[in-house]
Amino acid sequence: MATVSYKDAGVDIDAGNQFVENIKPYVKSTMIPGVLGGIGSFAGAFELPSGYKKPVILAGTDGVGTKLKLAIDAKKFDTVGIDLVAMCTNDLLCNFGEPLFFLDYYATAKLEVEEATQVVAGIAEGCIRSECALIGGETAEMPGMYKEGDFDLAGFCVGIAEKDELDRVSMVKENDVLIALPSSGVHSNGFSLVRKLLLEKLGMSLEDDFQGKKLKDVLLEPTRIYVKEFKANKSKINGLAHITGGGITENLPRVLPENLKAVVDRSKIKVLPIFQFMSKHVELEEMYRTFNMGVGMILVVNPSNVDAILASTDGYVIGELKAGERKVEFV
């Protein structure tokens, strides 16, 4: 009777080993003080930094949604890893956490070593931009669970914060100013609508030209990471809102007390061309509750700190906080 191997069942151990060898230099490039040990152990280890009075560990997890489907269709795998890290580390900032380390989960029907290596190279780049270390991950080859060519990604980030700095809502006051930090593009939310409108309804191709660039490059532009801006201006920030799914409409109220509303001057927002184009086919309010519209992060700042932050970032003022029911009021 003929024997059956794991490879016959669809799992290639040798390919997995080659993948680990491929990613070692990328993982090594993310190492920062605090990392203990190297790749290949059963668990990643990190020594907590000193200097905190009441250190609190923060954790976040996320994916990149159906932007991943676009990357697979475009056969462009080097940017979604940056997106994966960005979605996690930008969230930590909103609780005044500084990222320490990151882990990833990569699942597929059949491990394509070169594609997976490009993905992890992007994750490593995201970690470098976030000033955190990639200390572990899981690669799962699962025949029958995914369609051929498909894979899925999840990311997990751990950071650290001062306990007394966690409650940002209590720091936010009437007349605080709203400073928008620009997004780099669509970021990682709303791609089901992007695909429905551009690729299905309008019949566009990922290879089409859009204002001098291929559409796929515009859409797959990696999510901007705001760690450096946060660290440089931390003492001057009362609150932060990461503008992800739900847009400004849904995310900005998350950092407000019940008695304050955000008054946002829509004319001040530097809307990106891709959103201007999509707005011809999607209701404006739907755009603002789905996409970032060109604003990736909003800082809530005391008026006395506005000039300093504007001088040290590419941010610009889009509104202020006023007394009223907790919501965003566009004017």
Residue type (1 letter), 83: D
The domain boundary residue, chosen from 114, 144, 165: 165
Sign for the CA dihedral angle at 162, 164, 166, 168 comes to: negative
CA distances from 6 to 13, 27, 108 (A): 8, 28, 16
**pLDDT of res. 6:** 87
Question: Residue 2: inside a domain, yes or no?
Answer: no
User: In degrees, to the nearest 5, what angle opens at C-alpha 114 toward C-alphas 129 and 119?
Assistant: 25
- Domain range for 66: 13-165
**pLDDT of res. 52:** 93
The domain boundary residue, chosen from 165, 191, 207: 165
The domain boundary residue, chosen from 165, 187, 220: 165
Considering the domain architecture, whether residues 38 and 155 belong to the same structural domain is answered as: yes
The tokens of 222 are what?
Answer: 């990696």
Residue 12 has pLDDT above 90, yes or no: no
The rounded distance, in Å, linking the Cα atoms of 179 and 292 is 14
Rounded average pLDDT over 6-35: 91
Residue 166 has pLDDT above 80, yes or no: yes
% of the chain exceeding 90 in pLDDT: 91
Local confidence band at 2 (pLDDT 50, 70, 90 cut-offs): confident
Question: Residue 116: inside a domain, yes or no?
Answer: yes
- Give the burial string for 205-232 (b: 16+ CB within 10 Å, else e): ebeeebeeebbbebbbbbbbbbbebbee
Considering the domain architecture, whether residues 187 and 326 belong to the same structural domain is answered as: yes
The rounded distance, in Å, linking the Cα atoms of 144 and 52 is 48
**pLDDT of res. 37:** 82
Rounded average pLDDT over 253-272: 97
Question: Residue 7: inside a domain, yes or no?
Answer: no
Sheet holding 328-330, edge to edge: 239-242, 295-301, 177-182, 316-323, 260-264, 328-330
> Where residue 148 sits, what CATH number does that domain have?
3.30.1330.10
Considering the domain architecture, whether residues 288 and 300 belong to the same structural domain is answered as: yes
Residue 148 has pLDDT above 90, yes or no: no
The residue written with tokens 């184009």 in the block is 277
Q: Please check whether residue 85 is in contact with residue 126, taking contact to mean a CB–CB distance below 8 angstroms.
A: yes
Rounded average pLDDT over 278-295: 96
Residue 295 has pLDDT above 80, yes or no: yes
